Structure 1
Amino acid sequence: MTHRRAVALMILVTLLWSVAGVVTRHLESAASFEVTFWRSAFNALALAIGLGCLCGPRLWTELRSAPAVLWWSGLCWAVMYTAFMVAITLTTVAAVLVTMAIGPLLTALFARFFLHHRLPTRTWSAIAVAGIGIGWMFGHKAMEGGAELGGVLVALAVPIAGAINWTLLQHVGSSARDADSEAVDMLPAVLIGAVISALVTLPLAWPLQASARDISLLAFLGVFQLAIPCLLAVRLARVLPAPEIALLCLLEVLFGVAWVWLGAGEVPTRATLFGGLLVLGALIANEALALVAGRGRSVELLARDIRP
C-alpha cells in the first residue's frame, strides 16, 4: 500500500467515525442506553463476521485462552463505546468531540508515568494548552449546569480509557520486542469490548423502545461507523507512523462538528469553539513538530550512511 493511498483511507476512516453524532440526532424513540446497546450489538456482530473471515477458527481458540491484557483492553474498548454514545445524548456533539481530542496527549502522559517514556518540551506545552482549553469548556458547562456538564464528564471517560488502552498496547509491543517473541494479537479486544458494552447496557436499556427506523440507523452505525473503520485503522497502523495517524484522527472533530451543524442544526457554543481551537491547535502543533523532527532524524541518518 502506498503512503498516499494509506492517507486517503485514513481520511475515509475519520469520515466514517464522524457520522455518529448526526445520525444519533435523527433517532425517534431510542434512549441513551438503548442507543449504546444497539450500536454495540451490531458492532459485535459485524466484528465477529469480519474477524472470523480474517482469522478463521483460530479467533475463537485464541479468545478461550486469551491473556488478561486482552480482556483489559477489551474493557477499555467497552468504556469508549458506551461513554461516547451516552455523552452525545446528554450534551452537544462538538463538546464531546473536543473532549475526546485530548486522547493523544493523555496517552503521551500515561506513557511517561507508566512506561517511563520521555516527553519532549513541545508535548508538555501541548498538554498545558489543551488543559486550558478543556478547563475553559468545563467551566462554562459548570455554569450552565444540568445534563450539559454531565455529558462532558461522561465524555471524558473516552480519552481516559483510550489512553489506558494505547498504553497497554505499547506495553505489549515493547515487551514482545524485549523478549524477542511474537506480540499478543490485540485485535480481538475490539470484539470483546463490543460484546461487553452490549451486555452491560441491555439491562439498563430494557424495555427496548427503538422503532424499526432507529434500529436500522443504529445498525448502520455499528457496522459502518465502528466495525469497518476500526478494522481499517488497525491495518493502516502498519503503514502510517503514529504521529501522522494522530494528526489525521483530528479530522474526526472537524467532520463531526460540521455534520451536526449542517445535518441537525446543532451550532457549537462560543466556549466550545474557543476550547476546541486551543485543543486542536495544541495537538496540531505537537504532531506537526513530531513529524518534522522525525524527518529531520531520517535525513541525518541518511546523510551519515552516504557520507564517504
Structure 2
Amino acid sequence: MAVSPVVSPQGERIGFLLVFLSALMWSFGGAIARFIDAGDSWTVVFWRSVWAAAFLVCFMIWRDGWRCTLKLFRDMGLPGLAVAFCFATASTSFVVALAYTSVANILLMQAGVPLLAALLAWALFRERVAMATWVAIGAVIAGVAVMVSESLDGAVSPIGDGLALLIAVMFSIATVITRRFAHVRMTPATCLGTMLAAAFAASQASEFAVSSRDMGFLFAFGVVNLGLGLAFFATGARLVPAAIAALLGTFEPILGPIWVWLIHSEVPSARTIVGGAVVVTALLVHIGLEFKRQARPVRPGVTGMPSPN
C-alpha cells in the first residue's frame, strides 16, 4: 500500500490552483457543446477524445521529451491503468448521458463527488477528513441541489441517471487514486483514458464525418475542455487531499451555467443563482481557512516538517 505523501504548504497551494483551473476548463463543456450540431453522441465522444489525446501527447513530449514520455507510460503501473479506465468511463458517460437525462440530474450526481471521495479516502486509506471539510461538502451538496431543484420534473431515465451516477463514482475513485499514489505521474494515465474512450466510441459511432464548423468546436471541446482540464487535474490532485480536490472540482457545475448565460444568453434561474452563491461561498470560505491554517507559524522544536515538493 502506498504511503500518503507529505506535501509542503506551497505545494498544496499550487495544487489548489491547478485543480481549480481543471474545473475552470471543464466548466466550458456545456457552452462548447451547444455549438456542435453532430447528431451522434458517439461521434462527439470520438473526436473529443482524439483531440484531447493528441493534446496530452504533445504536452508530455514538450514537457518531458520522447524518452521520458514513453517511460512515464511504462511506469504508471496499475494505479495509472485504473485512473485511465476511470477517466475513459467518466468522459464517455458525460456525453452519452446528455442524450438520456437532463444536465440538472448530472450536476446533482456530481455534487456527491466530494462526499464519495472523502468516504473512499477514509475507508480505504484512513485519510483524515477535517470537520470543516465535511461542513463544506454538505454546503456544496445543498447548494447544487437548490440549483437543479426546479429542473427535476420527476421523469426518470434509468440509463441516463445511471450514467450520471457512474460519472460521480469514477471521478471519485480517480481523485483518491491520484492523491494516494502521488509519486506516479498521472498525465499519461489521463492520456490513455482519452485513447480508450476514442477507441470505444469508434466501435459505436455511426459515422465520423462532421462539418468544418463542428470540427472546430470539437477541437476546442477536446483540447481546451477535456485535455487541458485533465492535464491540470492530474498535476494538481496529487498535491491536495482527495476530499478537497473533489470539493474544488465542484466549481465546474457552478461556472458552467455562467458561461452558457454569457455566451448563449440563457439567463440562469433564481434558484441557480441562489444555489451557486451558496456553493461558491462555502468553497471560498473553506479554501480561505485552509490557507490560514497553512500560514500559521510552526512552534519551535517541531520536527518532521514536510519537504518541498
TM range (shorter): 0.7 to 0.9
Greater Cα shift, 122-131 or 267-276? 267-276
**Higher relative helix content:** 1
Residues matched between the structures, number: 292
2:178 corresponds, among 157, 162, 169, to: 169
Report the equivalent of 2:58.
Answer: 49
List aligned pairs for 1:197-276, cutoff 5 A: 197-208=197-208, 210-235=210-235, 249-268=249-268, 276=276
Report the equivalent of 1:116.
Answer: 126
Cα deviation for residue 214 of structure 1 reads 1.3
Deviation readout 1:201-259 (Å, 9 max, x if unpaired)? 22222233532221221012212222234334545568889888667655433432111
Is 1:76 aligned to residue 92 of structure 2? no
Return closer, same or farther for 1:105/1:280 CA change in 2, 3 Å cut-off. farther
Query: Is 1:80–1:157's contact at 8 Å kept on the other side of the alignment?
Result: yes
Cα deviation for residue 48 of structure 1 reads 1.9
The SS at the match of 1:119 is coil
Report the equivalent of 1:180.
Answer: none
Gaps of 5+ in 1: 174-182
Query: Is 1:70–1:186's contact at 8 Å kept on the other side of the alignment?
Result: yes
Return closer, same or farther for 1:3/1:77 CA change in 2, 3 Å cut-off. closer
Return closer, same or farther for 1:275/1:155 CA change in 2, 3 Å cut-off. farther
List aligned pairs for 1:73-222, cutoff 5 A: 73-90=83-100, 93=103, 96-97=106-107, 99-132=109-142, 143-145=153-155, 151=160, 153-173=162-182, 183-208=183-208, 210-222=210-222
- In structure 1, what residue type is equivalent to 2:43? E
Distance in structure 2 (CA, Å) of the matches to 1:169 and 1:45: 22
Deviation readout 1:171-197 (Å, 9 max, x if unpaired)? 323xxxxxxxxx333221011100111
Query: Is 2:76–2:189's contact at 8 Å kept on the other side of the alignment?
Result: no
Distance in structure 2 (CA, Å) of the matches to 1:281 and 1:95: 22
- In structure 1, what residue type is equivalent to 2:113? G
Report the aligned-residue RMSD: 3.9
Q: Indicate the percent of aligned positions where both proteins have the same amino acid.
A: 28
Deviation readout 1:105-149 (Å, 9 max, x if unpaired)? 3222211111112222233334444445566678766543156x8
Is 1:63 aligned to residue 84 of structure 2? no
Distance in structure 2 (CA, Å) of the matches to 1:239 and 1:49: 24
Cα deviation for residue 167 of structure 1 reads 1.3
Return closer, same or farther for 1:50/1:264 CA change in 2, 3 Å cut-off. same
Using structure 2 for the length normalisation, give the TM-score.
0.74
Is 1:21 aligned to residue 33 of structure 2? no
Using structure 1 for the length normalisation, give the TM-score.
0.75
